Amino acid sequence: MRRFTYARAASPQAAVAAFTAAGTGARYIAGGTTLYDLMKLDIERPAHLIDVTAMDGLDRIETGGDRLRFGALAPMSAVAVDRTVLRDYPVLADSLSKAASQQLRNMATVGGNLFQRTRCLYFRNGAGGTSAGTTYPCNKRAPGSGCAAIGGLDRGQAVLGASADCTAVSPGDWPVALVALDAYVEVLGSQGTRSLPVAQLYRLPGSTPQLEFTLAPDEIVTAIVVPKTRAGRRSAYHKIRDRESYAFALASAAVALEMEGDVVAQARIALGGIATKPWRATAAENALAGQRLTRQSAATAGHAALTGAVAGKHNRFKIDLAARVVADALMIAAERTKA
């Protein structure tokens, strides 16, 4: 058993102060649906946990004005059923309602969900290099030990954004929808406050796959902000997985459309389940701009979204699957209520 200390913070400022005082080994914890799993797997080994769930006001859902603002502690389940989100931004509701199980959505927070770590089987199931006393190398767990997925069991691995050191997939649904809508986070740390696009929260693996996020260790997300857009009404999150519920995406797509009749004025497209981070598909967006949305043009955009994809031994099917998912998501979104 690994020992750790525990404290509850009454405010974001108190949480940051507690983190600074604790020093190396401190971790923030909210719903715990990710961190506790990682602790059980001996991947995360915090010396001090700072519980942020007692902070008043950080669970608010605000839908007035020119933006949606979700407090970082808002439960996934609450945001998924918010009337404004359901009516005007179904891509957000879809991405939350298709994630995990109802029990987990009741516990998990929209802020914490941004920081899920990969579901790579070598990372999760005991892999970690000889320094961890295991047989499978994993550069995320033991930097420099190698990557067993490269040339190994790579069915679930990334075909976009991978490197020679890591091919692990970014597992989230909610971040993909946020990236498509140009959302940003409000952040507090010892150096003050700042805003950061959700797309910039995530690092490509490169040669340092153990570094997954761009926040400083002491920084905490206090809110997620989504600029309002008329594309929200015609939006969808489409997800294909091995089973209908409680499974991570083999491929997913978040899309939002601004239409002029049957012509696409602007498309927003992001991919999940196939890349090392939530993946904005700008080539697909450009392919659709000014075009009539038909099954053929949607298929063309789907293939454009996979530009640069590189398959491994067992995941080549994901390239064609993801292209079809994009096309289907576009057609689903197009049928939804006009703004």
Residue 2: band (very low, low, confident or very high) from pLDDT cuts 50, 70, 90:
confident
> What pLDDT, on a 0 to 100 scale, did the predictor assign at position 338?
61
Residues 206/36/244/71 CA torsion (nearest 10 deg): -80
In a domain, 96, yes or no: no
Round to whole Å and give the CA distance between 6 and 50.
Answer: 6
Q: What is the 3-state secondary structure (H, E, C) of 174-219?
A: HHHHHHHCCCEEEEEECCEEEEEEHHHHECCCCCCCCCCECCCCCC
Q: pLDDT digits over 78-120, tens only? A: 999 999 999 999 999 999 999 988 888 999 999 999 999 998 9
The CATH number assigned to the domain holding 263 equals 3.30.390.50
Name the strand (E) or helix (H) holding 77.
Answer: helix 76-80
> End of a domain among 9, 30, 56?
56
> What pLDDT, on a 0 to 100 scale, did the predictor assign at position 62?
98
3-state secondary structure of 75: strand
Q: Which is more confident, 339 or 279?
A: 279
Residues 124/130/131/134 CA torsion (nearest 10 deg): 40
Round to whole Å and give the CA distance between 106 and 238.
Answer: 22
In a domain, 265, yes or no: yes
In a domain, 4, yes or no: yes
In a domain, 200, yes or no: no
Q: pLDDT digits over 158-216, tens only? A: 999 999 999 999 999 999 999 999 999 999 999 999 999 999 999 999 999 999 999 99
In a domain, 155, yes or no: no
Query: Nearest to residue 232, comparing CAs of 104, 119, 333?
Result: 333
Contact at 8 Å (CB) between 72 and 38?
A: no
pLDDT of 130 > 60? The answer is no
Query: Nearest to residue 259, comparing CAs of 199, 336, 198, 170?
Result: 336
Mean pLDDT to the nearest integer, 19-36 = 93
3-state secondary structure of 296: helix
> What pLDDT, on a 0 to 100 scale, did the predictor assign at position 81?
97
Residue 326: band (very low, low, confident or very high) from pLDDT cuts 50, 70, 90:
very high
The rounded mean pLDDT for the chain is 94
pLDDT of 135 > 90? The answer is no
In a domain, 33, yes or no: yes
> End of a domain among 56, 81, 100?
56
> What pLDDT, on a 0 to 100 scale, did the predictor assign at position 131?
43
> End of a domain among 9, 41, 56?
56
In a domain, 316, yes or no: yes
The CATH number assigned to the domain holding 1 equals 3.30.43.10
User: How many C-beta neighbours within 10 Å does residue 12 have?
Assistant: 23
> What are the helix (H) ranges across 270-310?
282-288, 295-305
Query: Nearest to residue 186, comparing CAs of 74, 111, 77?
Result: 111
Number of domains composing the chain: 2
3-state secondary structure of 131: helix
Highest mean pLDDT among 97-106, 239-248, 313-322: 313-322
Q: Any residues with CB less than 8 A from the CB of 77 and at least 6 apart, and which?
A: 96, 102, 105, 106
Chain centroid offset of residue 250 CA: 14
- Phi, then psi, of 201 in degrees rounded to 5: -70, -25
> What pLDDT, on a 0 to 100 scale, did the predictor assign at position 252?
98
Mean pLDDT to the nearest integer, 19-26 = 92
> What pLDDT, on a 0 to 100 scale, did the predictor assign at position 319?
98
User: How many C-beta neighbours within 10 Å does residue 304 have?
Assistant: 19
In a domain, 153, yes or no: no
> What pLDDT, on a 0 to 100 scale, did the predictor assign at position 316?
97
> What pLDDT, on a 0 to 100 scale, did the predictor assign at position 127?
47
Q: Which domain holds residue 275?
A: 232-334
